[in-house]
């Protein structure tokens, strides 16, 4: 039960410190990881969940639209072959946005939806004017839940699948570094 409550939004400080140190060493991301998105519906619960099917620890950030603003929040830490509920309850949006970083390889799952992020734990309202507000502009990949009440994203390794919406974009900085 402790793991469940910790997962609701509070990554550990030691994970943040490790993540920040890893990000500080990164230039331009040359990602080779691809996320595979799989939707699952369960009658017993409704959540937005992310599963890490890689052998490495990953950090996760999430973006979504609430009633009036764009919200980005992170970082969750997922161990190898672990799952985490990022949003609990019935999903209210069709589209959600994810950014994930493999800490061992310093590679990211990113996309073309740009939102604000930070190298430290964050919850940011609004997706515009990131740098003027002290945040970084980072790419998130889009997840289409098809208006289902529950969705699970599977992050995994796939040899250069160009058709995946989670294909890495090599021009995006990782949180913790500004644009070069």
Q: Is the pLDDT confidence value at 117 over 80?
A: yes
Residues 42-51 have pLDDT tens digits of: 344 689 999 9
Residues 145-164 have pLDDT tens digits of: 999 999 999 998 742 332 33
Total residues belonging to the chain: 180
User: How many CB atoms are located within 10 Å of the residue 163 CB?
Assistant: 7
Give me the chain's average pLDDT, please: 73
Residue 45 pLDDT: 66
Instruction: Provide the whole-model pTM.
Output: 0.65
Tokens encoding 53: 């099917």
Report the percentage of the chain scoring pLDDT > 70: 62
Contact 70, 126 (CB under 8 A): yes
Name which of 72, 59, 50 is nearest 145 in CA terms.
Answer: 50
Residue 60 pLDDT: 97
Question: Which residues on adjacent β-strands are paired with residue 91?
Answer: none
Q: Is the pLDDT confidence value at 36 over 50?
A: no
Residues 73-103 have pLDDT tens digits of: 999 999 999 999 999 999 999 999 999 999 9
Q: Kindly tell me the burial class for residue 78, based on how many C-beta atoms sit within 10 Å of its own C-beta (0-12, 13-18, 19 or more).
A: buried
Distance CA 12, CA 18 (A): 10
Question: Which residues on adjacent β-strands are paired with residue 70?
Answer: 65
Q: Is the pLDDT confidence value at 2 over 80?
A: no
Contact 23, 61 (CB under 8 A): no
Tokens encoding 125: 């309202």
């Amino acid at each position: 039960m402790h793991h469940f409550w910790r997962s609701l939004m509070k990554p550990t400080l030691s994970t943040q410190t490790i993540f920040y140190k890893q990000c500080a060493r990164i230039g331009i991301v040359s990602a080779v990881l691809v996320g595979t998105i799989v939707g699952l519906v369960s009658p017993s619960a409704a959540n937005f969940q992310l599963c890490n099917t890689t052998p490495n620890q990953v950090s996760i950030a999430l973006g979504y639209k609430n009633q009036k603003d764009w919200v980005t929040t992170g970082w969750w830490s997922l161990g190898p072959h672990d799952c985490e509920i990022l949003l609990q309850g019935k999903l209210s949006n069709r589209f959600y946005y994810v950014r994930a970083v493999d800490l061992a390889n310093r590679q990211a799952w990113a996309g073309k939806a740009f939102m604000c992020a930070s190298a430290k734990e964050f919850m940011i309202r609004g997706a515009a004017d990131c740098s003027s507000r002290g945040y970084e502009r980072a790419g998130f990949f889009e997840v289409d839940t098809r208006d289902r009440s529950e969705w699970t994203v599977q992050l995994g390794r796939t040899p250069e699948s160009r058709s995946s919406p989670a294909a890495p974009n090599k021009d995006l900085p990782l949180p913790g570094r500004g644009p070069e």
